[in-house]
């Protein structure tokens, strides 16, 4: 168990299910994640998939243990290969002494269990091959198959009893077949009372938006942002939200501008290419001073890039997108809890400062599935900072010290006038160049306020560490695991995580980084975009760079090895 | 320092068709008894898009071609507002063409008044999507060699709930069309307004239009799609004006469960403001 019981880490098991798109990899994964969480284990799962509806190679990693986990792991302890292609491609990434199941005859070191055939025999349906596989896995781990049964009963509660019974039979049969094939039994972690509620990143963002009072969503589907869009569509009836599939991203952003003008919190979800189409509208929201909120879920680029993979390549784009100078804030959550909290904070910030706010996620983050404490699902709307009772002398763009003008919405006594042209305080078009300067200065003063409120980066690790890793967004988890591993090796290591990447809290960042002997920036892009920003701001001078842009997320062990090398 | 809307300098050329459109618009708003406090004028960019600045209303003057999506969402957020788009042929049929197609599909209850002068005025005289074949400009030096868009036929094919055409040179007719559109409660309304551009379009002049426009006969049944299409295809010696087509589709607001009973904005409860 050398890999499993790495120094400084407690025991955890990495289970990998792989097959073609459409084979039920996701269903099996979800079944196992929910069951393991229900058993009180800490679960962390990730997905890797190809951009296709059928065929190809998709995999679902479920890592579980007795302590909270924050990252995936390269090697699997158990591989469930549903196709020969999966076996050939991933069989080499199973640790010495691990178990490989193959849906077919025994092959090489793999235990052959005909999951599909068995499901057909037992239940008369190939669909339940997943449940047969889950049963076999549970046998290897020494877990009682009853745990699967209780989850199945809950998951299928809407279906007929017969379906549940058939699934239970399949799970039991899977365990029996694994026993008969003398599949190895692995040491397995025990339940420790971990939270039972499982969320993925998309759900965390979507739930936060719905509870914060987002009433209108306009998006064009684009991987990997579609999960949030889909979640909100599903939650729309419960929370009273209009979710509209726009004809394109240009329409989506202009709709969000319109809805916020009329007074309802609104958002769009998109990825890099779609966000590129939104940039004129983003600039419009800066000029009109509308609280526009965009969830930008990143994937490798340029252009279409790797549509279903992960990357952190749109940071500079998010910070600079749109023509002209205008204030904005950009948040980048690193965990599911942070995704929830920053969605809410982002919406609040947008409304307080009447400025666009972007939440940066990526495929890795939205597809993380993990059991965490319950996220509040009560409707708890944010303050829209709307003034009541504005009269006929109302000036939408009254010049103020903070740059924030009282915001009224149409329908009351005041005429609310907005113009994308430069305008005077009343909102009407002007070419008075003094007014231009006065209004532009007013708008940009909001940037100063946003900077004063910028979140300080969070620190984790050894007090006053000699080596500090810098992370932003989804590299938080893998970096955190790396810190634990490296400290386990006796190194003085810490990490500084930026959940707000614009404006940067320069003072707090500098305070943490100035005494470090070595700073290593960890990023999912090829050029070290955030390191460049920190250098520009004078937060750091030179620093080490650990960059990954092959479409896969970092793992904790990979970062630890890189730092130690 | 503070300016009131009526003080705003008008940026249209003397004799521009936009003046009569503005006059008809103000009269139509009075006649249809639209509460100006609940009136939102949405526009993109162009000479027509400046109209909201020259009257009294709430104004969302956004991006070129993007009036429709903004107006759509304003209506969804608060369908008690009367949302009217003042746009031009470039804004609505060119840059915003895709949005028009989808606004027709949605049948969202906004009214689009399109000042169609068959030329780009603000950028000084290039062809527009409705310029006639052969129309010569400084860009289309050998004449426009693509077919003009037929906005009425397009709207009818998409089963728009209200399609009309009028002429800036006939103020009474234009006002009547605008009133009918404002009183229309069944969804999206398109009013295509033939508007001579006195500076950049020396072909389609007031005189040119006057000789050709012909009011549709009182016997025309706007619910007859075939007849409506026939009228929409007429262009040249005779150009029909009037209510060309109506359909009985339900509006987007009426079909959308979350807002079928009350406005979205009224459902925002809780924190102050």
- Whether the CB-CB separation of B186 and B159 falls below 8 Å is answered with no
Q: Token pair for residue B102?
A: 């989808």
Indicate whether A521 belongs to any domain: yes
Give, to the nearest 10 degrees, the angle between helix A129-141 and helix A25-38.
40
Residues of B in contact with A348 (CB under 8 A): none
Same domain, yes or no: A101 and A235: no
Query: Which residues does chain B have within 8 Å of residue A381's beta carbon, measured at their own beta carbons?
Result: 268-271
Give chain B's domain count.
1
Cα B1 to Cα A125: distance, rounded to the nearest angstrom: 77
pLDDT score at A366: 98
Q: What is the pTM of this model?
A: 0.96
Scored b (16 or more CB within 10 A) or e, B151-185 reads bbbbbbebbbbbbbbbbbbbeebbbbbbbbbbebe
> What is the Cα–Cα distance from A396 to B225, expressed in whole angstroms?
45
Q: Are A37 and A29 in contact (CB under 8 A)?
A: no
**What's B164's domain CATH number?**
3.40.50.970
Q: Best of A255, A347, A430, A439 to disrupt the B interface by mutation (most B CBs within 10 Å)?
A: A255
Same domain, A476 and A445: no
- Chain A residues lying within 8 Å of B38, measured CB to CB: 410-411
Residue B3 lies in a domain: no
Q: Structural domain of residue A445, as residue ranges? A: 386-453
**Contact between chains at B270 and A241 (C-beta distance less than 8 A):** no
A–B CB contacts, 8 A cutoff, strictly below:
183
List, as ranges, residues 101-140 from B with C-beta within 8 Å of A.
101-102
Does the pLDDT of residue A364 top 80, yes or no? Answer: yes
Residue A352, SS3 per DSSP: helix
List the single range of A7-11, A452-456, A468-472, B8-12 with lowest mean pLDDT: A7-11
Map residue A67 onto helix, strand or coil: coil
Interface residue A495 vs chain B (CB under 8 A) = no
Q: Which two tokens stand for residue A444?
A: 């940009």
B75 Cβ neighbours under 8 A, 6+ residues apart:
B81, B83, B108, B109, B110, B252, B253
- For residue A204, what are its two tokens? 């965390």
A176 reaches B (C-beta below 8 A): no
pLDDT at A161: 83
Rg (CA), chain B: 18
**CB-CB under 8 Å, B264 with A416:** no
- Residue A498 sits in the same domain as residue A437: no
| Residue B13 in tokens | 């050329």
* Identity of the residue in A240, A261, A430 whose CB atom sits nearest the CB atom of B267: A240
Across residues A187-207, what is the average pLDDT? 97
Predicted confidence at residue A153, as pLDDT, reads: 81
Which range is least confidently modeled, A116-130, A368-382, A526-540? Answer: A116-130
- pLDDT computed for residue A525 by the predictor: 98
CATH of the domain at A524: 3.40.50.920
Nearest CA in chain A to B38: A411
Contact A219, A259 (CB under 8 A): no
Tell me, what CATH number does A204's domain have?
A: 3.40.50.970
Flag whether B272 is in a domain.
no
Residue A539 belongs to some domain of the structure: yes
Nearest-Cα residue of chain B relative to residue A432: B1
| CB contact at 8 A, A158 and A115 | no
Average pLDDT over residues A323-328: 98
Residue linked to tokens 């988890």: A477
Q: Evaluate whether residue A247 is within a structural domain.
A: yes
% of chain A residues with pLDDT over 70: 98
Report DSSP letters for chain B, one per residue. ----GGGSPP-SPTT-HHHHHHHHHHHHHHHTT--GGGEEEEE-SSSGGGGGGGSSSEEEE--TT-HHHHHHHHHHH-TTSEEEEEEEHIIIIIITHHHHHHHHHHT-S-EEEEEE-SEETTTTSEE-TTPPTT---SSSTT---SPPP-HHHHHHHTT-SEEEEEETT-HHHHHHHHHHHHH--SS-EEEEEE---TTT-SSS-HHHHHTTEEEPPTT--TT-HHHHHHHHT--SS-EEEEEEEE--PPPHHHH-HHHHSS-TGGG--SS--
Q: Last residue of some domain: A453, A468, A488?
A: A453
B258 with A281: Cβ contact below 8 A: no
Q: Do A242 and B264 touch (CB under 8 A)?
A: yes
Q: Is A319 on the interface with B (CB under 8 A)?
A: no
Distance between CA atoms of residues B14 and B12, nearest Å: 7
Q: Which of A410, A422, A424, A429 to mutate to test the interface with B (most CBs of B within 10 A)?
A: A410
**Dihedral angle over CA of A359, A362, A364, A365, nearest 10:** 10
Q: How confident is the model at residue A2 (pLDDT cuts 50, 70, 90)?
A: very low
Residues with Cβ within 8 Å of A233's Cβ and at least 6 positions away in sequence, in order, are: A217, A243
Cα–Cα distances (Å) from A209 to A93, A305, A344, in that order, read: 39, 28, 6
pLDDT in tens, A500-551: 999 999 999 999 999 999 999 999 999 999 999 999 999 998 899 999 999 9
Whether the pLDDT of residue A441 is over 70: the answer is: yes
- Look at chain A and report how many structural domains it folds into: 4
Q: Which of A180, A212, A231 is the last residue before a domain boundary?
A: A180
Number of Cβ within 10 Å of residue A41's Cβ equals 25
Q: Residue A516 falls within a domain, yes or no? A: yes
Same domain assignment for residues A204 and A254: yes
Q: What strand order describes the sheet that includes A493-498?
A: A458-461, A493-498, A467-472, A518-523, A544-547
Contacts of A12 (CB under 8 A, 6+ apart): A4, A63, A64, A65, A66, A67, A69, A73, A189
Q: Which domain holds residue B67?
A: 13-267
User: Is residue A189 assigned to a domain?
Assistant: no
Eight-state DSSP code of residue A456 = P
Do A225 and A345 sit in the same domain of this protein?
Answer: yes
Claim to verify: residue A149 and residue A23 sit in the same structural domain: yes
A357 and A466 share one domain = no
Residues A409, A308 share a domain: no
Percent of chain A with pLDDT over 90: 88
pLDDT of residue A5: 36
Please tell me the predicted confidence (pLDDT) of residue B8: 67
Q: Are residues A43 and A156 in the same domain?
A: yes
CB contact under 8 A, B62 and A384: no
Residue B198 lies in a domain: yes
A233 domain-assigned: yes
For residue A257, give the nearest of B36, B56, B62 by CB distance: B62
Q: Vertex A412, ends A407 and A413: CA angle to 5°?
A: 100
State which of A313, A342, A371 marks the end of a domain.
Answer: A371
By the CB < 8 Å criterion, does A437 face chain B? no
Pairing of strands A329-331, A293-298: unpaired
pLDDT, tens digit, for every residue of A145-156?
999 988 888 777
Residues 235-264, chain B, touching A (beta carbon < 8 A)? 256-259, 264
Q: Across the interface, do A254 and B40 touch by the CB < 8 Å criterion?
A: no
CA atoms of B105 and B91, how far apart (whole Å): 19
Is B167 among the domain residues? yes
* Domain co-membership, A449 together with A462: no
Contact B270 A213 (CB under 8 A): yes
Query: Does A239 share its domain with A207?
Result: yes
CATH number of the domain at A113, please.
3.40.920.10
**What local confidence, expressed as pLDDT, does residue A51 receive?**
73
> Residue A7 pLDDT more than 70?
no
What is the structure's pLDDT at B272?
Answer: 42
pLDDT at A85: 92
3-state DSSP helix/strand/coil percent for chain A, to nearest 5?
Answer: 40, 20, 40
B29 chain-A contacts, CB cut-off 8 A: none
Looking at residue B270, its pLDDT comes to 56
* Segments in chain B below pLDDT 70: 1-8, 270-273
Cα dist. A186→A1, A65, A141, A391, A521 in Å?
Answer: 9, 13, 5, 73, 37
Best of B34, B42, B44, B59 to disrupt the A interface (most A CBs within 10 Å) is: B59
**A317 shares a domain with A210:** yes
Of the pLDDT bands very low, low, confident and very high (cuts 50, 70, 90), residue A226 is: very high
Q: Is residue A472 part of a domain?
A: yes
| Phi, psi at B60, each rounded to 5° | -125, 95
Is the residue at A193 inside a domain? no
């Amino acid at each position: 168990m050398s890999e499993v019981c790495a120094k400084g880490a407690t025991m955890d098991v990495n289970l990998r299910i792989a097959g073609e798109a459409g084979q039920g990899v996701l269903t099996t994964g979800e079944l196992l994640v929910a069951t393991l969480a229900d058993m009180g284990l800490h679960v962390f799962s990730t997905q890797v998939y190809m951009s296709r509806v059928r065929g190809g190679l998709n995999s679902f990693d479920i890592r579980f243990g007795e302590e909270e986990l924050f990252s995936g792991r390269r090697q699997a302890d158990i591989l469930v290969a549903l196709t020969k292609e999966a076996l050939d491609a991933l069989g080499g990434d199973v640790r010495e002494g691990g178990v490989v199941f193959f849906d077919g005859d025994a092959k090489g070191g793999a235990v052959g269990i005909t999951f599909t055939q068995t499901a057909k025999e037992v239940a008369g349906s190939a669909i339940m091959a997943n449940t047969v596989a889950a049963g076999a896995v549970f046998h290897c781990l020494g877990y009682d198959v009853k745990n699967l049964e209780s989850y199945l009963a809950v998951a299928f509660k809407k279906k007929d009893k017969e379906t549940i019974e058939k699934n239970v039979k399949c799970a039991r049969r899977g365990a029996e077949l694994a026993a008969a094939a003398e599949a190895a039994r692995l040491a397995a972690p025990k339940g420790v009372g971990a939270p039972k509620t499982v969320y993925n990143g998309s759900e965390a963002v979507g739930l936060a938006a719905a509870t914060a009072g987002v009433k209108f969503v306009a998006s064009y589907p684009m991987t990997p942002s579609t999960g949030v869009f889909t979640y909100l569509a599903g939650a729309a009836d419960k929370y009273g939200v209009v979710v509209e599939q726009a004809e394109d991203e240009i329409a989506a952003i202009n709709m969000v501008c319109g809805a916020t003008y009329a007074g309802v919190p609104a958002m769009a979800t998109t990825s890099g290419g779609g966000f590129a189409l939104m940039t004129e509208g983003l600039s419009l929201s800066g000029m009109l001073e509308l609280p526009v909120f965009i969830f930008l879920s990143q994937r490798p680029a340029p252009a279409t890039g790797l549509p279903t993979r992960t990357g952190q390549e749109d940071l500079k784009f998010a910070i600079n997108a749109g023509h002209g100078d205008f204030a904005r804030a950009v948040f980048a959550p690193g965990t599911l809890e942070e995704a929830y909290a920053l969605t809410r904070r982002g919406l609040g910030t947008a409304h307080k400062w009447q400025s666009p706010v972007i939440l940066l996620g990526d495929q890795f983050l939205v597809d993380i599935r993990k059991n965490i404490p319950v996220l509040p699902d009560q409707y708890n709307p944010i303050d829209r900072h709307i003034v009541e009772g504005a009269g006929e002398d109302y000036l939408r763009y009254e010049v103020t010290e903070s740059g924030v003008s009282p915001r009224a919405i149409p329908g009351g006594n005041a005429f609310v006038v907005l113009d994308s042209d430069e305008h005077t305080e009343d909102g009407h078009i002007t070419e008075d160049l003094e007014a231009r300067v006065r209004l532009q200065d007013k708008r940009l003063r909001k940037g100063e306020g946003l900077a004063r409120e910028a979140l300080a980066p969070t620190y984790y690790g050894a007090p006053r560490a000699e080596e500090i890793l810098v992370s932003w967004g989804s590299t938080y988890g893998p970096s955190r695991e790396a810190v634990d591993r490296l400290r386990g090796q006796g190194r003085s290591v810490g990490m500084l995580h930026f959940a707000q990447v614009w404006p940067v809290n320069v003072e707090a960042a500098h305070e943490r980084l100035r005494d470090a002997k070595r700073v290593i920036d960890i990023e999912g892009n090829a050029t070290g975009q955030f390191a460049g920003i920190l250098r520009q701001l004078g937060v750091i001078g030179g620093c080490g760079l650990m960059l990954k842009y092959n479409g896969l997320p970092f793992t904790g062990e990979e970062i630890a090895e890189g730092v130690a090398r | 320092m503070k300016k009131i809307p009526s003080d705003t300098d008008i940026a249209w050329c003397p004799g521009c068709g936009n003046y009569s459109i503005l006059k008809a618009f103000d009269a139509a708003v009075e006649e249809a008894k639209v509460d100006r406090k609940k009136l939102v004028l949405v526009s993109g960019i162009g000479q027509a898009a400046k109209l909201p600045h020259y009257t009294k209303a709430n104004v969302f003057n956004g991006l070129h071609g993007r009036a429709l999506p903004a107006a759509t969402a304003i209506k969804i957020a608060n369908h008690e507002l009367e949302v009217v788009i003042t746009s031009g042929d470039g804004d609505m049929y060119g840059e915003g063409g895709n949005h028009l197609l989808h606004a027709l599909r949605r049948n969202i209850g906004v009214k689009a008044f399109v000042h169609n002068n068959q030329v780009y005025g603000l950028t000084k005289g290039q062809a527009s999507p409705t310029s006639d074949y052969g129309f010569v400009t400084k860009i289309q030096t050998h004449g426009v060699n693509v077919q003009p868009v037929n906005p009425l036929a397009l709207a009818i094919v998409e089963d728009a709930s209200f399609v009309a055409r009028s002429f800036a040179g006939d103020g009474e007719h234009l006002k009547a069309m605008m009133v009918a559109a404002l009183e229309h409660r069944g969804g999206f309304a398109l009013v295509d307004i033939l508007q001579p551009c006195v500076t950049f379009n020396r072909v389609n002049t007031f005189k040119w239009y006057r000789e050709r426009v012909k009011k549709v006969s009182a016997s025309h049944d706007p619910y007859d799609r075939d007849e409506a299409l026939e009228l929409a295809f007429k262009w040249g010696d005779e150009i029909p004006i009037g209510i060309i087509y109506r359909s009985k589709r339900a509006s987007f607001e009426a079909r959308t469960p979350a807002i079928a009973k009350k406005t979205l904005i009224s459902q925002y409860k809780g924190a102050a403001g």
